[in-house]
């Protein structure tokens, strides 16, 4: 158990809909990261927040957005969903934001878009 | 980001040492070498990282070539639980960012 929690575990929805994925980092961790893992694209970094502020952006679509709240939990919002958005979404956390920090990953949310 | 090259798959017998190679010929002087692994149906898990010197921790050892163009993750005694996809990732120490760019990794199969 990494100490990172993600809800829900599974999500099934239809194209065009909007969903919110939630992540609670390990106690004391200030950085939260979101990753997407699909069969054809592998594991891709989406976005990083550090202490409430956006720190780095990866291959995140404009239809996706994220935020980190004052209590440090984070939410990833996916809208206008397409079939290709079906994937495993992982959240990770680390103490700081720099390269010396190991990341602790949650169990993931499996999103299925029908 | 500098690229890494790993074999797609490797096999090892249980309780034998495993050497997982990674080539990173375009590594820059400020790139850290990180290894993560992903067990089946789980999120990735940090294994080890280093910059120039060899590193040891409770999970594994990391041997870094003198010219830093390659590195090897060493599992001293493979167990069935070590069957996973292992990712070698370079992180630029200058940017201060910690985004992990995963490649395809090496799928390790451990044979009982």
Counting Cβ atoms within 10 Å, is residue A87 exposed (0-12), middle (13-18) or buried (19+)?
A: buried
Q: Give just the sign of the alpha carbon dihedral B102, A7, A76, A31.
A: negative
pLDDT of A79? 97
Contact B99 A42 (CB under 8 A): no
Closest CB to A105 among B45, B91, B101: B45
Mutant choice from B28, B48, B99 vs A, greatest count of A C-beta within 10 A: B99
Residues 61-90 of B with CB under 8 A from A: 87
Tell me the pLDDT tens digit for each residue of A53-107.
999 898 899 999 999 999 999 999 999 999 999 999 999 999 887 766 789 999 9
Q: State the pairing for strand pair A109-113/B55-56.
A: unpaired
Tell me the pLDDT tens digit for each residue of A20-43.
999 999 999 999 999 999 987 788
Per-residue pLDDT of chain B (112 residues; tens, 9 = 90+): 568 999 999 999 999 999 999 999 989 888 889 999 999 989 999 999 999 999 999 989 999 999 999 999 999 999 999 999 999 998 877 665 667 788 889 999 999 9
Encoded tokens for B5 = 């090259």
Q: Number of A to B CB contacts under 8 A, please give it.
A: 71
- Please indicate if any CB of chain B lies within 8 Å of the CB of A106: yes
pLDDT of B98? 63
Closest CB to B46 among A42, A48, A103: A103
Q: How far is B99 from chain A (nearest CA, A)?
A: 7
Encoded tokens for A79 = 């809208």
Q: Which residues, 6+ apart, have CB-to-CB distance to B66 below 8 Å?
A: none
pLDDT of B95? 66
Contact A2 B93 (CB under 8 A): no
Closest CB to B101 among A2, A45, A97: A45
Closest CB to B99 among A58, A104, A105: A58
Mutant choice from B41, B87, B97, B103 vs A, greatest count of A C-beta within 10 A: B97
Q: State the pairing for strand pair B106-111/B9-13.
A: parallel
pLDDT of B97? 61
Q: What are the Cα distances from residue B74, in Å, to B37, B42, B47, B91, B99?
A: 13, 22, 11, 20, 24
């Amino acid at each position: 158990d990494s100490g990172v929690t993600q809800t829900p575990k599974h999500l099934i929805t239809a194209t065009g809909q909007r969903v919110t994925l939630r992540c609670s980092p390990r106690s004391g961790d200030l950085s939260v990261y979101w990753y997407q893992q699909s069969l054809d694209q592998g594991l891709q970094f989406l976005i990083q927040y550090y202490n409430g502020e956006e720190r780095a952006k990866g291959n995140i679509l404009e239809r996706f957005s994220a935020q980190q709240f004052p209590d440090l939990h984070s939410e990833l919002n996916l809208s206008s969903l397409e079939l290709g958005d079906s994937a495993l979404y992982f959240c990770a956390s680390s103490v700081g934001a720099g390269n010396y920090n190991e990341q602790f990953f949650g169990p993931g949310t499996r999103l299925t878009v029908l | 980001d500098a690229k890494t090259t790993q074999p797609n798959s490797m096999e090892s017998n249980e309780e034998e040492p495993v050497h997982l190679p990674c080539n990173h010929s375009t590594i820059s002087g400020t790139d850290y070498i990180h290894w993560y692994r992903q067990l089946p149906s789980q999120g990735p898990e940090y294994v080890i990282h280093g910059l120039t010197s060899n590193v040891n921790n409770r999970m594994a050892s990391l041997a870094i070539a003198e010219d830093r163009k390659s590195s090897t993750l060493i599992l001293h005694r493979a167990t069935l639980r070590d069957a996973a996809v292992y990712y070698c990732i370079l992180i630029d120490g200058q940017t201060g960012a910690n985004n992990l760019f995963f490649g395809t990794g090496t799928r390790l199969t451990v044979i009982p």
